[in-house]
């Protein structure tokens, strides 16, 4: 692995400026009252599983050991070391990202027993966040889970949490209380219908764990702690689980601020990724809702799942895909013919004890979970309040953290926790095109409103779109509207593209459709003024080959990788070796978690070759034209519009400028209007902090360096202030515009090589009606339009590129 940083002389700009919310608008501002949009990536997809993660179905899976026989550990996720981390974080900044969502699962913090923490791993995450802060990157912590735990087919909670409840993990598959990937390496889990892990949300093991975690006292009052810790004697198991969870993440967050000597670039924390209600509020035990709960494979109803877990043999329906279903039952067969039991020997069946059903008489209390006093929204907000209060009072540097509120993908937002200050909450919904995920196919010229489909609507005529970005824009705009959380800043916590769609043509380096989809997603978020964190970055991503970093290989005498592949792999920022036909199961390729393939970076040879031509800045980056794009870094005012059109490379930003007074001496300028932009205009004396009027935009060379003519135009209230051509030479200019009888000073600096455009808009010294109201501006301010476009030579004239 190369130890050289991205620049010959490492520079560390220091922590990014602290952010605060606007008093009346749902936006984030820096100390100069400039609006900041957070853009970044989830780090990382493979942080959901330990290093050398054993496959489901293997003897090691339930033992707490990895595939080498050592105790499981997440150390080395997401990076092998800080040298490797710095290399990639510097690239992230080149790509225009300013924020990281750091994925951490409970099992990584407290893997083997309650109260025993992996402090080495905790230190590594704290040091990663501190490094990101020194490099000027924001970060927020994601308490990640999928279907509660890795042991139930997802990620999150450690095995000992199931022991507290009394569940025997080794019998999950036999009793159909969880669907797990088989250990058979020939299983084609890349096919859509075999992606069964999301169905575990409605299977007994996961539904039970979520129900007890959030509503143990209310719905399972008999489930008392039976462990050795005196502190928890007499506690309900649900309260013990919540307390352990809060303590584990509190330990990590305290360590972060200790390592970096304060909050630094740490913005906040998402207490739990995509929490699920389990059985809470379930109206009947006879069925799950087929329109909103994914049905694939063996799908027991709630009561069937409880009976199977209790040791009964039960007939269960098998579901397969259809459209617009999305699935339908094909057959019913007897499951658990061996009458295995999920409850541990000597432990009671909690739901039988509570009277939900009777194994002996067959009686069922169908309305148990809807009749009892247990509302999931109230229980969830109570958990958020407990978590946030415990964290923010545990260390002075944690007092001002933001709470990131992240419900299930495409789901309505939960109510706001009343005990948490409104200005400390960021709404962070997750959105995916679930039809594309489900079918692994995209037809760009026709798409469907998946937000409506996810909520049960089947009116296909009303929900069909022939413009992908407009469809996605309509979805994202609904995240921002009242009565949802339109009054909160909104940063999309997860969204992305399954790169293995359309028969996985990307194996040969063709990502045109994937790039088109990602561009449509990001364009839609830009139009809605949303920040975002793309899913995901996974450095260990593989396809075609199983690739491991050198530090993870141990003895690799069986490697048959060719020298050219190994050489190309070294371009990815770390040494790598490639094994073809490895004895590691091929269905654990992709992001190394449930065969997902979302990673924006890959060590695959064609991805590396694509980066070589870009001098390594983009090496390994997939769909780079959609990822790396012109973007708002900061606007001195309130953003009204931001849009980049990939096909024409046209970038347009409109904002209401803050009111900032210039020095008033416009005669010191060497020009009043510039068209050439090659001279350094005089700026006059500044009597204010320069950044108060400075807007900054990322203009990547990737899109413009090869175009014959790049044009910049700036207008104020629809009045053109300047139009100038730009090349690799640094450009500065100034214009004075008369707007309603008042002078407005417009200055800019731009150099394609530096990839930064800066624009200042200031009121002249002649007075007038003023502009915005200071903090973020308002509708009375000057409406500024900045446009960048590329032109090419067409015959005797110029045309849009």
Q: What is the pLDDT of residues 429-455, one digit of tens each?
A: 999 998 888 888 888 887 777 766 665
In the prediction, which pLDDT does 726 show?
Answer: 80
Separation CA 28–CA 391 (nearest Å): 22
Give the CA radius of gyration of the chain: 28
Burial class (CB in 10 A: 0-12, 13-18, 19+), 552: middle
Nearest one of 126, 400, 83 to 259, comparing CA atoms: 126
SS3 content of the chain, % helix, strand, coil (to 5): 30, 25, 50
DSSP letters for 215-284: HHHHH-TT-B--SS-GGGTT-BHHHHHHHHHHHHHHHHHHHHHHHHTS-TTEEEEESSSS---TTTT-S-
Kindly indicate the confidence band of residue 151, based on its pLDDT and cuts at 50, 70 and 90.
very high
Q: What is the DSSP letter of 663?
A: -
Separation CA 675–CA 722 (nearest Å): 6
Helices (H), 288-417: 302-309, 350-353, 368-371, 376-392
Q: What is the pLDDT of residues 623-673, one digit of tens each?
A: 999 999 999 999 999 999 999 999 999 999 999 999 887 654 433 333 333
Q: What is 37-275+376-625's CATH number, 1.10.8.60, 3.40.50.2300, 3.20.20.80, 3.30.420.40?
A: 3.20.20.80
Q: Whole-prediction pTM value?
A: 0.89
Separation CA 195–CA 762 (nearest Å): 56
Question: How big is the chain, counted in residues?
Answer: 801
Report domain extents, the chain: 37-275+376-625, 637-800
Separation CA 34–CA 23 (nearest Å): 13
Three-state secondary structure along 320-336? Answer: EECCCCCEEEEEEEEEC
Q: What is the pLDDT of residues 489-501, one digit of tens each?
A: 999 999 999 998 8
- Angstrom CA distances, 83 to 2, 78, 615, stand at 9, 12, 20
Residues in Cβ contact with 548 at an 8 Å cutoff, skipping those fewer than 6 apart: 540, 556, 576, 577, 579
Count Cβ atoms below 10 Å from residue 656 Cβ, excluding itself.
Answer: 23
Q: What is the pLDDT of residues 666-698, one digit of tens each?
A: 333 333 333 333 333 333 334 434 478 999 999
Residues in Cβ contact with 699 at an 8 Å cutoff, skipping those fewer than 6 apart: 630, 651, 750, 752, 755, 756, 757, 788
pLDDT at 605 over 70: no
Higher pLDDT pick, 386 / 754: 386
**What would the two tokens of residue 51 be?**
């290093």
Separation CA 395–CA 67 (nearest Å): 38
- Angstrom CA distances, 48 to 15, 51, 213, stand at 27, 10, 20
Kindly indicate the confidence band of residue 81, based on its pLDDT and cuts at 50, 70 and 90.
very high
Nearest one of 466, 748, 420, 595 to 49, comparing CA atoms: 595
Average pLDDT (405-409) is 86
Count Cβ atoms below 10 Å from residue 736 Cβ, excluding itself.
Answer: 17
**What would the two tokens of residue 383 be?**
């958990």
pLDDT at 344 over 70: yes
Nearest one of 181, 191, 196, 154 to 440, comparing CA atoms: 191
In the prediction, which pLDDT does 587 show?
Answer: 43
109 in Cβ contact with 252 (< 8 Å): yes
Q: Please state, rounded to an integer, the average pLDDT across all residues of the chain.
A: 83
Average pLDDT (543-572) is 34
Separation CA 620–CA 568 (nearest Å): 10
Separation CA 195–CA 64 (nearest Å): 25
Q: What is the DSSP letter of 727?
A: -
Q: Give the DSSP H/E element, type plus range, for residue 74.
A: none
pLDDT at 191 over 70: no
Q: What is the DSSP letter of 117?
A: -
Average pLDDT (175-179) is 95
Nearest one of 633, 636, 653 to 645, comparing CA atoms: 653
Q: Where in 523-566 does DSSP place strands (E)?
A: 531-537, 546-549
């Amino acid at each position: 692995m190369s130890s050289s940083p991205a620049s010959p002389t490492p520079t560390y700009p220091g922590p990014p400026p602290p952010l605060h919310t606007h008093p009346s608008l749902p936006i984030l501002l820096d100390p100069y009252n400039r609006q900041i949009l957070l853009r970044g990536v989830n780090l990382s997809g493979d942080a959901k599983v330990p290093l050398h993660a054993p496959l489901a179905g293997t003897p090691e899976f339930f033992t707490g050991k990895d595939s080498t026989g050592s105790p499981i550990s997440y150390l080395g996720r997401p990076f092998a070391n800080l040298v490797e981390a710095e290399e990639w974080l510097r690239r992230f900044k080149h790509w225009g990202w300013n924020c990281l969502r750091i994925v951490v699962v409970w099992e990584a913090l407290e893997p083997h027993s309650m109260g025993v923490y992996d402090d080495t791993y905790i230190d590594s995450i704290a040091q990663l966040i501190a490094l990101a802060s020194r490099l000027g990157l924001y970060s927020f912590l994601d308490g990640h889970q999928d279907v509660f735990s890795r042991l139930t087919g997802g990620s999150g909670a450690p095995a000992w949490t199931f022991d507290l409840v009394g569940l025997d993990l080794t019998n999950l598959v036999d009793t159909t209380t969880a669907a797990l990937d088989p250990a058979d390496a020939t299983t084609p889990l890349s096919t859509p219908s075999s992606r069964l892990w999301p169905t575990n949300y409605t299977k007994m093991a996961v539904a039970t764990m979520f129900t007890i975690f959030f509503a143990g006292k209310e719905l399972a009052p008999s489930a008392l702690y039976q462990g050795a810790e005196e502190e928890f004697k007499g506690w309900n198991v649900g309260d013990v689980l919540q307390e352990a969870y809060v303590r584990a993440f509190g330990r990590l967050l305290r360590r972060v601020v200790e390592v970096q000597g304060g909050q630094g670039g740490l913005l906040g924390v998402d207490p739990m990724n995509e929490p699920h209600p389990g059985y809470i509020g379930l109206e009947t035990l006879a069925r799950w809702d087929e329109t909103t709960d994914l049905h694939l494979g063996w799908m027991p109803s709630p009561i069937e799942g409880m009976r199977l877990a209790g040791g009964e043999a039960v007939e269960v329906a098998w579901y397969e895909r259809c459209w617009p279903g999305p699935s339908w039952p094909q057959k019913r067969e007897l499951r658990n013919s061996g009458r295995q039991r999920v409850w541990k020997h000597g432990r009671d069946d909690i739901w039988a004890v509570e009277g939900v059903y009777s194994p002996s008489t067959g009686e069922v209390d169908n309305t148990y979970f809807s009749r009892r006093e247990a509302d999931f929204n109230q229980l969830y907000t109570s958990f958020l309040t407990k978590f946030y209060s415990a964290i923010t009072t545990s260390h002075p540097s944690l007092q001002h953290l933001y709470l990131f509120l992240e419900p299930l993908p495409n789901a309505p937002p939960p109510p706001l926790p009343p005990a948490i200050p409104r200005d400390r909450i960021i709404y962070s919904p997750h959105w995916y095109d679930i039809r594309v995920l489900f079918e692994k196919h995209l037809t760009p010229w026709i798409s469907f409103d998946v937000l409506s489909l996810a909520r049960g609507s089947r009116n296909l005529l009303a929900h069909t779109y022939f413009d992908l970005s407009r469809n996605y824009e309509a979805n994202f705009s609904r995240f921002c509207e009242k009565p949802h959380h339109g009054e909160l800043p909104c940063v999309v916590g997860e969204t992305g593209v399954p790169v293995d769609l359309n028969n996985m043509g990307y194996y040969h380096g063709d990502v045109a459709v994937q790039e088109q989809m990602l561009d449509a997603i990001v364009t839609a978020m830009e139009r809605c003024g949303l920040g975002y964190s793309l899913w995901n970055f996974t450095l260990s991503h593989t396809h075609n080959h199983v690739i491991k970093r050198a530090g993870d290989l141990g003895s690799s005498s069986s490697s048959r990788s060719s020298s050219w592949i190994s050489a190309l792999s070294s371009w990815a920022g770390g040494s790598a070796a490639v094994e073809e036909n490895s004895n590691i199961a091929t269905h654990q390729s992709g992001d190394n978690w449930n065969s997902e393939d979302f990673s924006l970076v890959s060590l695959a040879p064609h991805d590396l070759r694509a980066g070589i031509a870009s001098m390594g800045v983009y090496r390994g980056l997939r769909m780079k034209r959609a990822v790396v794009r012109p973007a708002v870094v900061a606007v001195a005012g309130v953003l009204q519009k931001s849009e980049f059109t990939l096909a024409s490379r046209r970038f347009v930003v409109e904002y209401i400028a803050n009111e900032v007074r210039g020095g008033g001496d416009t005669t010191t300028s060497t020009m009043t209007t510039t068209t050439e932009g090659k001279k350094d205009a005089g700026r006059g004396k500044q009597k204010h902090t320069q950044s108060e009027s400075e807007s900054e935009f990322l203009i990547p060379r990737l899109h413009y360096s090869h175009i014959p003519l790049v044009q910049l135009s700036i207008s104020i209230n629809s009045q053109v202030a300047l139009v100038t051509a730009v090349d690799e030479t640094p450009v500065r200019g100034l214009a004075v515009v008369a707007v309603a009888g008042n002078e407005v000073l417009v200055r800019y600096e731009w150099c394609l090589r530096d990839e930064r455009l800066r624009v200042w808009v200031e009121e002249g010294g002649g007075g007038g009606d003023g502009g915005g109201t200071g903090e973020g501006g308002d509708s009375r301010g000057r409406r500024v339009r900045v446009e960048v476009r590329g032109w090419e030579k067409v015959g005797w004239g110029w045309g849009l590129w």
